[in-house]
């Protein structure tokens, strides 16, 4: 045994190893790092593994388990068949095409998609993506748990060439045609219902039926998806015209994609003096960092929808914070130990900023029954400064 110092070059590969990032580096495509992205505009390059084009989009708030990449299929082209042991949800950003999935049973299913479709690939199933247009490029956003999987097993052959089969993840054949099953669950508090839709494919998020979830904001609607029996979660929500959602916070890794409408999201940490603002339009994706408050605002004359993907599904919560959300505690006021800022507790700058924004777009507020809007409009600039007010939680963080 020697106490001689080990040269740095010998430590490489033995200390602070991140297998996911090693794999990313080996793909030789752009890696974009920022708070959020316009996925319709990010640069892509040839990606040999998919035999298409792509890029990684690593948001600052992605956390330890989740990541995102874009797959771009040129007109009339297709990807090579691939498979992997990480879970993957695809949102169609632009273009028209189809996906073929080879199931553990030996069956092959093909389904067609267009913009704003959402689908999941059952675990470790081989799949291939086709662009059916001879003129337009197809772009798809893939939110996945590759960091969790590659860092856990740190063996690329195991992740990408694993013969394991998971027939329970395939679902019924009609789930690849946009059909599914509606599940209504009464939450732990007995007051609210959780609406789930179990499927593998949602053809159009903009027209999909949503259900009232008023505790998250006036007129808010929502549905949670169980996709391919996954450990990952997805939900889509709608913000009505002339309204906005309540602020809340949660764990890292929730990739939020704007699907329809226009507006913005505000983000801040408790005690910040400034808000961080992210624009809201189709193609924008951002990921709120751990425990950072965020709030969604509709400023246009049509409902605004988004879809979020994160670790921990309603069926398999995976992490304790996700379990508490599924039980209804994510919509509980922080004054009661929850994670939500109620309208009556929010900083007056929040509503004033939104009023100014909808004045510019010609939209009329539908929030006057909650806020004293003449008084808020009368606030002077010096009264709209200082640390952002966030009521302190009086109970445990849940």
Tell me if 358 sits within 8 A of 261, measured CB to CB. Answer: no
Rounded average pLDDT over 198-221: 94
Beta bridge partner(s), residue 253: none
pTM of the model: 0.94
Q: Please tell me the predicted confidence (pLDDT) of residue 44.
A: 98
Mean pLDDT of 258-286: 95
If pLDDT is split at 50, 70 and 90, which confidence band does 251 have?
A: very high
pLDDT of residue 3 exceeding 90:
no
Model confidence at 191, pLDDT cuts 50, 70, 90, reads low
What is the rounded average pLDDT for all residues in the chain? 93
Share of the chain above pLDDT 70, in %: 93
Interacting residues of 383 by C-beta distance below 8 A, sequence separation 6+ = 348
Domain 14-166 has CATH 3.90.1720.10: no
Same fold, 14-166 and 175-341: yes
- The predicted pLDDT at position 14 comes to 76
CB 263 within 8 A of CB 298: yes
User: Nearest Cα to 356, choosing from 371, 331, 377?
Assistant: 377
Alpha-helical runs (H) found in 97-216 = 146-153, 156-160
Please report which confidence band the pLDDT of residue 192 belongs to, taking 50, 70 and 90 as the band edges: low
CA gap 358, 87 in Å, rounded: 39
Cα 42 off chain centre by: 17
pLDDT the model gives residue 194:
85
Residue ranges covered by each domain of the chain = 14-166, 175-341
Instruction: Give the residue-averaged pLDDT of 265-273.
Output: 93
% of the chain exceeding 90 in pLDDT: 80
Residue 1 scores a pLDDT above 60: no
**What's residue 290's pLDDT?**
96
Q: Is 8 helix (H, G, I), strand (E, B) or coil?
A: helix
| Max Cα-Cα span within the chain | 78
- Tens of pLDDT, residue by residue over 75-128, are 999 999 999 999 999 999 999 999 999 999 999 999 999 999 999 999 999 999
Is residue 330 over pLDDT 70?
yes
Segment 116-143, tens digit of pLDDT: 999 999 999 999 999 999 999 999 999 9
Predicted confidence (pLDDT) per residue in 132-183, tens digit: 999 999 999 999 999 999 999 999 999 999 999 999 999 988 999 999 999 9
CATH of 175-341, one of 3.40.1190.20, 3.40.50.280, 3.40.50.1950, 2.60.120.10: 2.60.120.10
| Mean pLDDT value of segment 351-375 | 96
| Nearest residue to 115 via CA among 181, 191, 204 | 204
CA dihedral 75, 77, 78, 79 (to 10 degrees): -90
Q: What sign has the CA pseudo-torsion 149, 151, 152, 156? A: positive
For residues 316-345, give the mean pLDDT: 87
Distance in angstroms (rounded) separating the CA atoms of residues 70 and 59 = 13
């Amino acid at each position: 045994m020697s106490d001689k110092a080990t040269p740095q070059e010998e430590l490489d590969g033995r200390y602070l190893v991140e297998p996911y990032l090693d794999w990313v580096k080996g793909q030789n495509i752009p890696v974009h790092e920022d708070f959020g992205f316009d996925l319709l505009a990010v640069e892509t390059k040839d990606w040999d593994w998919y035999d298409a084009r792509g890029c990684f989009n690593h948001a600052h708030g992605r956390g330890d388990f989740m990541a995102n990449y874009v797959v771009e299929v040129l007109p009339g082209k297709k990807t090579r068949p691939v498979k992997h042991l990480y879970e993957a949800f695809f949102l169609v950003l632009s273009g028209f095409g189809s996906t073929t999935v080879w199931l553990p049973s030996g069956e092959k299913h093909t389904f067609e998609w267009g913009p704003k479709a959402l689908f999941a690939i059952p675990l470790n199933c081989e799949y291939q993506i086709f662009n059916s247009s001879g003129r337009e490029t197809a772009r798809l956003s893939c939110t996945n748990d590759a960091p969790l999987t590659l860092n856990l097993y740190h063996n690329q052959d195991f992740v990408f060439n694993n013969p394991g089969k998971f027939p329970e993840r395939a679902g019924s054949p009609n789930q690849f045609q946009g059909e599914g099953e509606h599940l209504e669950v009464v939450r732990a508090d007995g007051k609210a219902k959780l609406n789930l839709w179990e499927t593998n494919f949602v053809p159009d998020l903009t027209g999909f039926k949503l259900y009232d979830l008023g505790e998250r904001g006036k007129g808010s609607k929502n549905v949670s998806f169980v996709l391919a029996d996954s450990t990952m979660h997805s939900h889509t929500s709608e913000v009505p015209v002339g309204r906005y959602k309540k602020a809340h916070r949660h764990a890292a890794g929730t990739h939020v994609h704007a699907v329809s409408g226009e507006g913005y999201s505000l983000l801040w940490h408790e005690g910040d003096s400034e808000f961080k603002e992210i624009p809201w339009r189709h193609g924008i994706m951002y990921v709120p960092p751990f425990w950072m408050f965020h709030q969604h605002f509709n400023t246009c004359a049509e409902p605004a929808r988004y879809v979020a993907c994160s670790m921990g599904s309603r069926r398999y919560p995976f992490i304790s914070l996700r379990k508490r959300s599924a039980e209804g505690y994510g919509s509980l006021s922080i004054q009661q130990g929850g994670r939500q800022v109620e309208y009556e507790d929010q900083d007056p700058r929040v509503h004033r900023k939104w009023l100014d924004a909808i004045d510019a777009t010609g939209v009329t507020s539908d929030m006057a029954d909650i806020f004293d809007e003449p008084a808020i409009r009368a606030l002077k600039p010096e009264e709209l400064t200082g640390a952002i007010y966030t009521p302190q939680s009086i109970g445990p963080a849940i």
